[in-house]
């Protein structure tokens, strides 16, 4: 843990980044989201010899280029290509931080980062579904967001051991679906998720041509073909086993980990994190796999859902 050199609130010797910098080993209690040496991501960040967590890592955006994740103040300079969040409604400007008004975690009405997570940090309950009623009961200190976090933050996840993300099956593109993990992203990237006329050509969610990739949309709705019914039709797992490479959200709020999709209503919900890592990845657009490199190189994670298009 490095001393930041300036006084920190709450008598702490470090800021968010100071405490959360390191290399994950599977036994560290503090989840590390920034590594000073290149983390092992392999192809999808889920392999048995990988060492990043569910959010990915800020290493690549700090060391390679601005496209590989969120440019967090204190780790890297402002993004030279994107000055505002793409898809946003213009309400967010400036460089991102971990928490507070300028960040994703904590109370976004509180400016200072440590104050913004006050009362939640060391009270995390990993045994009950996080209902999002208060900051302390919000998934990963993302205010108002629901979910059930894996105790190891998805260090080498499997279909049996992973985060349970909350999603719903929307009926209207104006529906904001508060509490879902995709709605967190929509706080800054609004029109990628909701807003009349922003998702479908017809204006009716789920009909006509998609203008933006659907999220908070259950795959059992897809009428265009049956390809989604073969989700994760991998040789290793067979059909419908939850894929940690391209995960799905669910409307089920029990603490039973979702291991097989299409087992109950609305458990096959496409979300932003089906394709992206929240912090960053080795790939352009902070994608979970190297989409840009495919088919010459790279990895076709899209085919986990688009099983007829691989
Ligand atoms: C003094 C060290 C320290 C500082 C400073 C710190 N953290 Fe943490 N953080 C931890 C530890 C330890 C845990 C693991 C807590 C646990 O196991 O329940 C943690 C856990 C977390 C988690 C996961 C919570 C969950 O769902 O289990 C998040 C998110 C997080 N920290 C964000 C932040 C942010 C944002 C900041 C800055 C505002 C910050 N941390 C500052 C030590 C720190
Ligand atoms: C508090 C505001 C905020 C939230 C919440 C937020 N983002 Fe962003 N995002 C930004 C800003 C600002 C940028 C452009 C600057 C940068 O990359 O740091 C950005 C850029 C991105 C980029 C492009 C990266 C690049 O540089 O090319 C992706 C992808 C992205 N965000 C995905 C997400 C996802 C997925 C979520 C939800 C897990 C999310 N964002 C939540 C503010 C936010
Ligand atoms: C089906 C996969 C998929 C889903 C789901 C998805 N994205 Fe993306 N997103 C992509 C791809 C592919 C790119 C282009 C990445 C690249 O090559 O740089 C991208 C790019 C972005 C960018 C960068 C745009 C730019 O102008 O640079 C942002 C921001 C972003 N996505 C946010 C989101 C948010 C927020 C959600 C959820 C509401 C979401 N994405 C859902 C696949 C997806
Ligand atoms: C988590 C599952 C999932 C993943 C991963 C995924 N998609 Fe999709 N995609 C869907 C669903 C569901 C639809 C809506 C289909 C419908 O409405 O009939 C869709 C629709 C589309 C469409 C609109 C055309 C159509 O078939 O309806 C395009 C284009 C598309 N996806 C591209 C991509 C690309 C490119 C990737 C990889 C970067 C990707 N998708 C990854 C689930 C997924």
What pLDDT shows up at residue 239? 82
Pocket perturbation via mutation, ligand 3, pick of 79, 275, 298 by most ligand atoms within 8 A of CB: 275
Decide whether any atom of ligand 2 lies within 6 Å of the 105 Cβ.
Answer: no
Of all protein residues, the one whose alpha carbon is nearest to atom 34 of ligand 1 is 16
Decide whether any atom of ligand 1 lies within 6 Å of the 33 Cβ.
Answer: no
**218, 269 Cβ separation under 8 angstroms:** yes
* Residue range 228-249, pLDDT digits in tens: 989 998 776 668 999 999 999 9
Of all protein residues, the one whose alpha carbon is nearest to atom 16 of ligand 4 is 222
Tell me the pLDDT band of 1, cut-offs 50, 70 and 90.
very low
- Which residues are CB-neighbours of 5 under 8 A, at least 6 positions away? none
Tell me the pLDDT band of 213, cut-offs 50, 70 and 90.
very high
Of all protein residues, the one whose alpha carbon is nearest to atom 3 of ligand 1 is 19
* Upstream peptide bond of 55 is cis (omega within 30 degrees of 0): no
- % of the chain residues with pLDDT over 90: 83
Q: How far is the CA of 107 from the centre of ligand 1 (A)?
A: 14
Task: List, chain by chain if needed, residues with CB within 6 Å of any ligand 4 atom.
Answer: 210, 213-214, 219, 222-224, 228, 246, 248, 270, 274-275, 291, 301-302, 304-306
Token digits of residue 130: 């996080």
Is pLDDT at 225 greater than 60 in this prediction?
Answer: no
Alpha-carbon distance values, 23 to 26, 30, 192, 200 (Å): 9, 10, 33, 42
Q: How far is the CA of 146 from the centre of ligand 2 (A)?
A: 20
Alpha-carbon 273 to chain mean position: 4
What pLDDT shows up at residue 237? 64
- Cα separation, 289 vs 297, whole angstroms: 11
Decide whether any atom of ligand 2 lies within 6 Å of the 85 Cβ.
Answer: yes
For 171, other C-beta atoms within 10 Å of its C-beta total: 12
* Residue range 64-99, pLDDT digits in tens: 999 999 999 999 999 999 999 999 999 999 999 999
- How does 272-293 read in b/e, with b if 16+ C-beta sit within 10 Å? bbbbbbbbbbbbeebbbbbbee
């Amino acid at each position: 843990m490095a001393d930041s050199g300036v006084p920190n609130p709450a008598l702490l010797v470090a800021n968010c980044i100071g405490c959360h910098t390191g290399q994950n080993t599977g036994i560290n209690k503090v989840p590390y989201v920034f590594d000073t040496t290149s983390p092992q991501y392999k192809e999808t960040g889920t392999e048995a010899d990988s060492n990043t967590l569910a959010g990915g890592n800020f290493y690549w955006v700090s060391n390679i280029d601005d496209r590989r994740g969120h440019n967090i103040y204190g780790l890297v300079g402002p993004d030279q290509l994107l000055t505002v969040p793409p898809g946003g409604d213009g309400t967010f400007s400036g460089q991102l931080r971990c928490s507070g008004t300028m960040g994703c975690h904590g109370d976004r009405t509180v400016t200072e980062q440590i104050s913004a997570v006050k009362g939640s940090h060391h009270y995390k309950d990993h045994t009950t579904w996080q209902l999002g009623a208060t900051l302390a009961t919000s998934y990963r200190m993302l205010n108002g967001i629901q979910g059930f976090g894996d105790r190891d933050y998805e260090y080498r996840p499997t279909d049996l051991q992973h985060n349970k993300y909350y999603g719903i099956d929307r009926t209207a593109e104006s529906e904001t679906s508060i509490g879902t993990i995709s709605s967190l992203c929509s706080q800054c990237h609004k029109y990628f998720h909701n807003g009349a006329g922003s998702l479908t050509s017809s204006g009716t969610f789920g009909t006509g041509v998609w203008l933006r990739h659907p999220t908070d949309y259950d795959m059992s709705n897809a009428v265009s073909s049956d390809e989604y019914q073969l989700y994760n039709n991998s040789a290793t797992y067979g059909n419908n086993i939850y894929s940690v490479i391209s995960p799905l959200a669910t409307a089920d709020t029990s603490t039973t980990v979702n291991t097989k999709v299409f087992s109950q209503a609305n458990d096959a919900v496409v979300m932003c994190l089906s394709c992206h890592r929240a912090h960053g990845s080795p790939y352009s657009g902070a994608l979970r796999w190297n989409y840009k490199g495919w088919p010459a190189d790279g990895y076709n994670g899209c085919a986990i859902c688009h099983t007829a298009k691989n």
